[in-house]
Chain A
Amino acid sequence: LAKTTQPISMDSYEGQEVNITCSHNNIATNDYITWYQQFPSQGPRFIIQGYKTKVTNEVASLFIPADRKSSTLSLPRVSLSDTAVYYCLVGDNAGNMLTFGGGTRLMVKP
């Protein structure tokens, strides 16, 4: 079961690019990497998912190096509304349960 390690918290300012890195040293060959965003009293919301190299959608980019032992979620030009907890999750296709990491609490300041 792949474990993930993320920074507990990060601060940023509006308009800046934010990069949150997740370590997953024992990622398996068929595992995917998924990031979720969670606001207080709400369920996590899917942001982006990738397997290798780079994935980009309308809200974020996900960078995964060749060894796949880490991944970086990139949020371009953050706003106050991006203040939330971000979770990195590595998908285990062996049928085992999935475990969310501790999450990174991002605080965006004006």
Chain B
Amino acid sequence: KAGVTQTPRYLIKTRGQQVTLSCSPISGHRSVSWYQQTPGQGLQFLFEYFSETQRNKGNFPGRFSGRQFSNSRSEMNVSTLELGDSALYLCASSPIARLAGTDTQYFGPGTRLTVL
């Protein structure tokens, strides 16, 4: 099976702009989670979607949003970009909902966002 794919891989934006990142999960996976990774804060959970519904959300401002489509593909959007939003944004898919208690997530390569 193909792995998790994320597009674009690299992105440069300026402050105040908005950005949309895309994630295609492994075929058959219905759960998609997004993470932000920075050198200072490490891996931080953004949100999780399962069957087109947002199930969990991390402690990020409302400028960060996401959605999931019926084919399980997911997008996340960041509006009014700030310098601090520069990070590696990772998408992970899972074959089952995380409420089952296990956490075997398969991560994509990430999108490196640079905000100037």
Contacts and interface: CB of A to CB of B under 8 A. Distances in A.
Interface residues of A, number: 25
B2 interface: no
Contact of B42 (A30, A46, A103): A103
B107 A43 contact: yes
Interface in B63-116: 88, 90-92, 98-110, 112
Contacts of B101: 30-32, 91, 93
Interface in B1-22: 4
Given A98-B45, A99-B45, A100-B42, A89 B103 contact: yes
Nearest to A49: B104
Contact of A95 (B42, B43, B56, B91): B56
A87 B92 CA distance: 15
A59 to B, nearest CB: 14
A97 B31 CA distance: 13
A42 B107 CA distance: 9
Which range holds the interface residue count of chain B?
A: 20 to 34
Nearest to A89: B103
A98 B42 contact: no
Nearest to A97: B45
A42 to B, nearest CB: 6
Interface string A72-101: 000000000000000101010101111111
Interface in B21-73: 33, 35, 42-45, 48, 55-58
A97 B57 contact: yes
Contacts of A98: 33, 45, 98, 103
Interface of A: 30-32, 34, 36, 41-46, 49, 87, 89, 91, 93, 95-103
